[in-house]
Structure 1
Amino acid sequence: MLLTNRQIAIFKAIVDEFTKTAEPVGSKRLIDLLDFSCSSATIRNEMAALEEMGLLEKTHTSSGRIPSSKGYRFYVENLMEKQLDEGIKDSLQEVFRQRHFSMDEVVKKSCEILSQMTSLTSVVLGPESRYQTLQHVQLFPLTERSAVAVFITDHGHTENKTFHFQADVSLEDIKTCCNILNDKLVGTPICNVVERMKEIEPLIASHVARHEVLFEAFVSAFMKFASEHVYCSGQSNMLYQPEFADIEKLKELMKMLEDSSLFRQIANHEGNVAIEIGGENNLIQMDNVAVVSSRFKMNDKEEGELMIVGPTRMQYNRVVALMEYMSKVLEDMYRQEE
């Protein structure tokens, strides 16, 4: 698609202005925004041409124009200039330099930072459990009816799960159960642990008095551990976006954010960074929603995904730059730990 320099300047000005105001942009406003002289009539003709190309569209409530899904795609592929303030880079480096984070903490912290810095909703996908195997399990009693289970994988990742028993359990039974689990489950893929536990349940029953209580607690804890690590932060930021002022649209968006399988599918993209725009992506059923995702490697086998969910008029230049840099920070951090 070939655009003249004037058409490019007008189109870019409309995208930038609509991103800031969420209001359709008219010819009179463009006269103030453009850095060259142009009559209203000429601007209107160029806007009509851009609309004919499918890059702009007119709303029912205004004579101004807004970018279309096709227009946003053209913008991010041809006109976007990534921008990230050096102060933000320093802040990101400092957050992860302050202390040693576990994998789970890094994923959660990244999610919080992204939503805070963009004022949008962030989703972070941790590595899928099928790539990890159980290395060790330990149970620490808190009271006679509660305990903390600590699971360690072959990659050194640690996860804690607190759970409660339905009846009193002796310290000896807990110790015996842990010994059996460590003897029989070491090397088992996390996603297969529950199935393997069912196979050794008779063995646990023959050595542990309250085996039913302990078995149920461990199965529950392992199921939580094996579930996908999907974290979401900043959902409330969508309340301040004009696109979702309608309660039904907001409900639809919240339902989308709860669908972890959707984000796993979106994460299955080529390249390190992808921009999915509603209206052109079959996975995203809402026209005015976009998802920007950036992949980061934890090691040779494991990958995570950073995502920003927001209106299609989000500041792509800033969001993409931020996510690319955060992915780099995370990869550098994991590389240092190897």
Structure 2
Amino acid sequence: MELTQRQKLIFRTIVERFTCTAEPVGSKALMELLDHPLSSATIRNEMAVLERAGLLEKTHISSGRIPSRRGYRYYVENLMETSLPTTVRTTLRDIFMERQYTLEEVVRIASDVLSEMTSLTSIVLGPDASGQRLQHVAMVPLSTDSAVALFVTDTGHTENKLFRFEQDVSLPDLTTCTDLLNSHLKGIRLEDIAGHLEELRPLMAAKLARSEVLYEAFAAAFMNFAAEKMAVSGRSNMLAQPEFSDVNRVRKLMKILEDSDLFNAWTHQSTNIAVPIGGRNELIQIGDCSVVTAKFRTCDEEEGRLMVVGPNRMPYARVIALTDAMSDVIEEIFGTDKKGGRQDEQTQEAAAGNGTGGNEAGSRKSGG
């Protein structure tokens, strides 16, 4: 059905009013909200048309109307206007330019910022590196009981890991261990390294004085490297939404948000409705919940997702604008289209080090 301009104006006003108040909108309220004077009878007639079209619905007989799930989809696809003040975009960029963050830190900060700026629950999934192959390991000793290891994959993805050993580890042990890892694990997929490291265990025991200490440290590090990074912020914001007043329901939702496997299953149910928004964003409707997602890329082989979870009654224009801007900032920091930038220079410098060479560990970033 093609709406008239007047119907579009009334419908947009209802959506935006209900988003703010969570209260059904009646004809008298609309008379005060609309810029163009319309009679109550005219507004009621137009609301009845919108209801028959499936865009509005009543909560009970005497109430005003609220947008339906279909109505929200129509609003997002046809009426929503996204914009973000330049000052907000600048602020987002400044947050991440304060210092050089690792991608894991960016995932956490992005989740916190999105939650704070939307007053909803946010989830950020960092790229899953499990399918990448190990290219190089470098070790930087800090003291006898601590060191920083730098891992580099075949895609240019790098990550550092601080080790604090339970027992003192000598520099020769660190050097020998690094050489063993580089000679036996290069080219192995990260998700398969645990098995290959177990096969390497007898050789480590024969060559290293502190073999068990180093084995346990690297096994944990590789598992963390291969795992999907997930950050959840603003869980308590769910409690502030009238749609989530059922405590048991919120507990169930919190359990889903805490587990990436449960969350992926939840967002990929066959009963869900997904609405693409441009080339990057998507709206997923799951019952009376909505999830706005935005993809970001850190290199040719890596893709992460920003997500904001809330009721169907969420401020879509602002949420979509924020997730889109956040994606731009992350890609600006970690993207592969920069040549000669600080990311590429430091990644190359870190990857060029052999064994325990170098004075500092590089931060996690991606380069093409």
What is the TM-score when the length of structure 2 is the normalising length? 0.80
Asked if 1:157 corresponds to 2:158, the answer is yes
Distance 1:76 1:190 in 2: 40
Q: Secondary structure at the match of 2:293?
A: strand
Greater RCO, 1 or 2 (C-alpha within 8 Å, sep 6+): 2
Q: Is 1:276 matched with 2:300? A: no
- Consecutive unaligned residues in structure 1, runs of 5 or more: 279-286
Aligned length: 326
CA contact (8 A) 1:295 1:327 kept: yes
Give the partner amino acid of 1:122. Answer: S
Letter in 2 for 1:152: F
| Residues 275 and 283 in structure 2, CA contact (< 8 A), matched pair in contact too | no
Give distance in 2, aligned partners of 1:170 and 1:90: 45
Instruction: Determine if the alignment matches structure 1 residue 183 to structure 2 residue 191.
Output: no
| 1:24 and 1:62 in contact (8 A); partners too | no
Aligned to 2:134: 133
Shift in Å, 1:170 = 4.6
Is the Cα–Cα contact under 8 Å of residues 102 and 158 in structure 1 kept in the other structure? yes
Q: Distance in 1 between matches of 2:137 and 2:18?
A: 54
- Counting only pairs closer than 5 Å after superposition, residues 2-151 of structure 1 correspond to structure 2 as 2-60=2-60, 63-129=63-129, 130-138=131-139, 140=141, 147=146, 150-151=149-150
Does the CA contact (< 8 Å) of 2:123 and 2:307 recur in 1?
yes
CA RMSD of aligned residues (A): 2.6
Shift of 1:56: 1.1
Please name the residue that 2:289 is paired with: 289
Query: How big is the shift at 1:20?
Result: 0.3
Q: Residues 46 and 153 of structure 1: is their aligned pair in 2 closer, same or farther, counting only changes over 3 Å?
A: same
Whether contact under 8 Å (2:256, 2:263) holds in the other structure is no
Asked whether the 8 Å contact 1:82–1:318 carries over to 2, the reply is: yes
CA distance in 1: counterparts of 2:163 and 2:23, whole angstroms: 49
| Cα distance change on mapping 1:63 and 1:191 into 2, 3 Å | same
Give the Å deviation of 1:175.
4.9
Structure 2: how far apart are the matches of 1:122 and 1:275? 14
How far 1:143 sits from its partner (Å)? Answer: 7.0
Q: What is the distance in 2 between the residues matched to 1:90 and 1:309?
A: 24
Q: Tell me how far 1:220 sits from its aligned partner.
A: 2.5
Distance 1:301 1:320, change over 3 A: same
Q: State the identity %.
A: 45
Range with greater deviation from structure 2 (20-29 or 175-184): 175-184
239-248 or 64-73, which deviates more: 239-248
| Residues in 1 aligned to 2:92 and 2:38: alpha-carbon distance in whole angstroms | 43
- Rounded to whole Å, the distance in 2 between the matches of 1:332 and 1:204 is 41
Describe the shift of the 1:269–1:59 C-alpha distance in structure 2 as closer, same or farther (beyond 3 A).
closer
Measure how far apart 1:149 and its partner are.
Answer: 5.3
Q: Deviations over 1:260-318 (max 9, x none)?
A: 1355575999731111122xxxxxxxx22111111122122222221111111111111
- The CA distance in 2 between the partners of 1:300 and 1:123, in whole Å, is 22
Please state whether the residue corresponding to 2:99 is helix, strand or coil.
Answer: coil
Greater CA deviation, 12-21 or 218-227?
218-227
Structure 2: segments with no counterpart, 5+ residues: 269-273, 345-368
Letter in 1 for 2:240: Y
Which digits, 9 at most, give the CA deviation of each residue in 1:243-264, with x for residues without a partner?
A: 1122022112212212313555
Post-superposition offset of 1:162: 4.5
**Residue 213 (structure 1) shift:** 4.6
The residue type paired with residue 3 of structure 2 is L
| 8 Å CA contact retained: 2:134, 2:185 | no
Flag the 1:133–1:178 CA change in 2: closer, same or farther, 3 A. closer
Which residue in the other structure is 1:254 paired with?
Answer: 254
2-structure distance, mates of 1:113, 1:127: 19
- With structure 1 as the length reference, what TM-score do the two structures score? 0.86
> Contact 2:137/2:178 (CA < 8 Å) preserved in 1?
no
The answer on whether the counterparts of 2:288 and 2:311 sit within 8 Å (CA) in structure 1 is: yes
User: Which string of whole-angstrom CA distances, capped at 9 and with x for unpartnered residues, describes residues 1-27 of structure 1?
Assistant: 211222212111110001001111112
Q: Residue in 1 aligned with 2:218?
A: 218
Q: Secondary structure at the match of 1:298?
A: strand
The DSSP-based 3-state class of the residue aligned with 2:308 is: strand
